[in-house]
Structure 1
Amino acid sequence: MRKTKWKFIGVMLLIVVMILSACGNSGESGDAASQDKIKIGFILSDSGTFAPLSENIKNGFKLYLEQNDNKLGGREVELIFEDDEANPQVALRKYKNLVGSEKVNFLVGPISSSVVYALRDEVEKDKVILIDANAAGNDLSWDLRSDYVIRTSFSNWQNGSSAGSYIANNIGKTAMVIAPDYPAGQEVASAFKESFEASGGKVVKEVYPKLGTNDFATYLTDVSQTNPDVVYAFFTGSDGIRFVQQYNDFGLKGKIPLTGPMEFGDLLIVEPSGDSAEGIVSGIIYSPWIDNEENKQFVEAYQKMYNKLPNTFSVQGYDSALIIDKAIKEAGSVDTEELVKVLKGISFDSPRGPITIDPKTNNPIQNFYIVENVKKDGQVVPEVIETIENVTMPETNPAK
């Protein structure tokens, strides 16, 4: 009888210890989970033509962290940066380090569409979320769409098509298109042509210089000889600055209107191009002069932190941090599959306007702004002429 009694007491004590241990472990795990850092790996092009774009994406992301105590979803953040050199093979090596060795929770980047296409299958296989902060390749939202790749920037289709109708209806009916010979150049040019010609225009010539061209004289001579009503050109980074300046130096400014996608209305090209950029009409997603409360606060904070105005790439970096923060809070977790459910269709207010991630394409539904670069108080600034609301990428490739 006594043995039975002590056996019963022993069992009860064991049960109590197990319950207390479970409660203690549960609390400890919760605290540990809240204290564990979120690792974010950046694959950007920190050297070459795209370096200024990468710098501004990082600046925008860091500003968001600065405003939120270096936390996303209530957890401390560690940033790890890799330079892909705008080379898909280099990017794959850097990816393996970030995902395989560093065990990052999220990837942010890249700049180049060629790089994002190279990363897509690896991301899909490893089930790691890539927040695409810039690369605009169309197929990433069509045949190569992945639930693990969410774009916070724009697609080449959106960028090229945004101003086509306005240009055909207000500037000229014949256009010559000039763009670099790589996927983004081809896709932006194609989208512009589709939009421009659907509105009654006609593209009379297309030329595709190599990426990194220093001297555009041959192509500008071609512009003079073709003599279209308007030139539509797409160049980014240092290529864009050189093209705009040489267009002016060649005597074409004021004779044949120069138009383009968002890059030609962005401060990254407008500011260093100076007066050469005056008069250009383009379709943009962001300007420091967009009038909404989020943008006013963003511009003020950015100027305070970096002593300069933000540009399109700054806000793309900022929004990449914002969407990660919002997704973790809504999912209540950093579990990849839970985050994927939240990210598809997520909405937020950006300095550029309202954003919704279209669950059909994983591409942002957003406003585009038709702007003309005008000189005010000694500075060339993009002045909004017209707002095109809720620009949505087609669910499938319209050319197929």
Structure 2
Amino acid sequence: MEKKKVNSKLKLWSLTLIVMILFITGCGGAKQETTTSQSEKQGTDTATEAETIKIGLILSTTGTFAPLSEGIKNGFELYLEQHDGMLGGKKVELKLEDDEANPQVALRKYRQLVHSEKVNFLVGPISSAVVYALRDEVEKDKIVLIDANAAGDDLAWAKKSDYVYRTSFSNWQNGHSTGAYLANNVGKTAIAIAPDYPAGKEVVRAFKAAFEEAGGKVVKESYPKLGTNDFATYITDAANTKPDLVYAFFAGSDGIRFVQQYKDFGLQGKIPLGGSLEFGDELIIQPTGDATEGIISGVVYSPYLDNEQNNQFVEAYQKKYNKLPNMFSVEGYDSAQILDKAITEAGSIKSEDVIKVLKGISFDSPRGPITIDPKTNNPIQNFYVSKNTKKDNVIVPEVLETVEKLTMPETSPFPQ
């Protein structure tokens, strides 16, 4: 009897042990299965994140430069729409920040985008002063900046960076493009007027060099404050000085006010007005209308340029935004286009891989063929010396001369 009790106890302990082993094994297996499932899920999430590119847009969406920023944003978004929201085969997430055309604000917004939002690329800014402020941060963080507008000359010279590539134009190109034509065809004496900030002084500097090299003479330079509402003092001074022509550079709302006041003070048609590419652009032509008639400028883009890509671009832009594109629309469009091509060719979104492709990259723009000069990281492109002409009650920049493949000097031709 005692022996049977012992055997029964042994059988009970054995059964209990087997159950415990099976339970532990089962729990371990379930735990392992759960861990594997979480690992697979994490891998899937990471892969999804890797397929999304974050792009930070640093633009001046308020103030004088707001219309320029709108054009860049519109052009960039149109390109994305035409390519299923993708660049280089990867989905794009845009992050837009307003730098207020203020270098200190821009630095704060830059750090937010790069350090907090972890964007992969930057596009912008508008202001030359802002791009100069951002340059060292970009260099330190090794993040690619596609300069969609800021035209500061030194960005191609002393402040050139392997991480900054311009898709717009330089101030040197902008000012230089019409200098010889105006000296040879309009007059030999000129007054130059531009806003008192880096772009204004650099554009006038380049115009003056080209104008005087062709036999002209800039007899006076004036630099009103950026955001000036009343140009009466400067226009009256030009009327009293009586030069052969006035050369002016103003962008955005400043340009609209200057052109309108130039007409209102009776100088239109009396003293020829020549200017930077902004004066032949829809952004100023549309709101000022007849006041722009007769202005000669060196443009990089017009919706009236006759090439297949531009015809398609204009049609698509009008369909999406119900208005003609301007120069800044093309800057945004081309910024997306160059990123698309560079990422595709690099097969990577890593800065070190992408910059190898960006050096010397070429592409066809609605404005014509573009090559990024590896010596300056600045676009080699055509400029079109144009005269604003009225055709069928519409002001059209009629091309008088094409300056082909205008290339920025490798080093500054100006005394330091």
Q: Same fold (TM over 0.5)?
A: yes
1:104 and 2:119 are equivalent in the alignment: yes
Of residues 182, 187, 207, the one that matches 1:172 is: 187
For residue 347 of structure 1, what is the aligned residue in structure 2? 362
C-alpha spacing 1:293/1:30, structure 2 compared with 1 (3 Å):
farther
Q: Is the 8 A contact 1:34 1:74 kept in 2?
A: no
- Measure how far apart 1:36 and its partner are: 2.1
The amino acid of 2:205's aligned partner reads S
The amino acid of 2:257's aligned partner reads R
Of residues 73, 77, 99, the one that matches 1:84 is: 99
Of residues 365, 379, 401, the one that matches 1:386 is: 401
Instruction: State the alpha-carbon separation in 2 of the partners of residues 72 and 305 from structure 1.
Output: 20
For residue 300 of structure 2, what is the aligned residue in structure 1? 285
Q: Deviations over 1:116-157 (max 9, x none)?
A: 000000000000000000000000000000000000000000
Residue correspondence of structure 1 range 73-222 to structure 2 within 5 A:
73-222=88-237
Listed as ranges, the gaps of 5+ residues in structure 2 are 1-35
The amino acid of 1:152's aligned partner reads T
- The CA RMSD measured in Å over matched residues stands at 1.5
- Measure how far apart 1:379 and its partner are: 1.2
3-state DSSP of counterpart to 1:136: coil
For residue 256 of structure 2, what is the aligned residue in structure 1? 241
Q: Is the 8 A contact 1:35 1:76 kept in 2?
A: no
For residue 253 of structure 1, what is the aligned residue in structure 2? 268
Instruction: State the alpha-carbon separation in 2 of the partners of residues 217 and 37 from structure 1.
Output: 52
Instruction: State the alpha-carbon separation in 1 of the partners of residues 138 and 167 from structure 2.
Output: 17
3-state DSSP of counterpart to 1:339: helix
3-state DSSP of counterpart to 1:395: coil
Residue correspondence of structure 1 range 53-92 to structure 2 within 5 A:
53-92=68-107
The amino acid of 2:113's aligned partner reads L
Instruction: State the alpha-carbon separation in 2 of the partners of residues 40 and 376 from structure 1.
Output: 41
- Measure how far apart 1:31 and its partner are: 9.4
3-state DSSP of counterpart to 1:203: strand
Instruction: State the alpha-carbon separation in 2 of the partners of residues 261 and 314 from structure 1.
Output: 17
3-state DSSP of counterpart to 2:297: strand
- Give every structure 1 segment of 4 or more consecutive aligned residues whose post-TM-superposition deviation is greater than 3 Å: 28-31
Q: Deviations over 1:204-251 (max 9, x none)?
A: 111111001101111111001100000000000000000000000000
Instruction: State the alpha-carbon separation in 1 of the partners of residues 124 and 414 from structure 2.
Output: 27
Larger Rg: 2
Q: Give TM-score scaled by structure 2 length.
A: 0.89
Higher mean C-alpha displacement, 34-43 vs 287-296: 34-43
Q: Is the 8 A contact 1:288 1:311 kept in 2?
A: yes
3-state DSSP of counterpart to 1:107: strand
Listed as ranges, the gaps of 5+ residues in structure 1 are 1-20
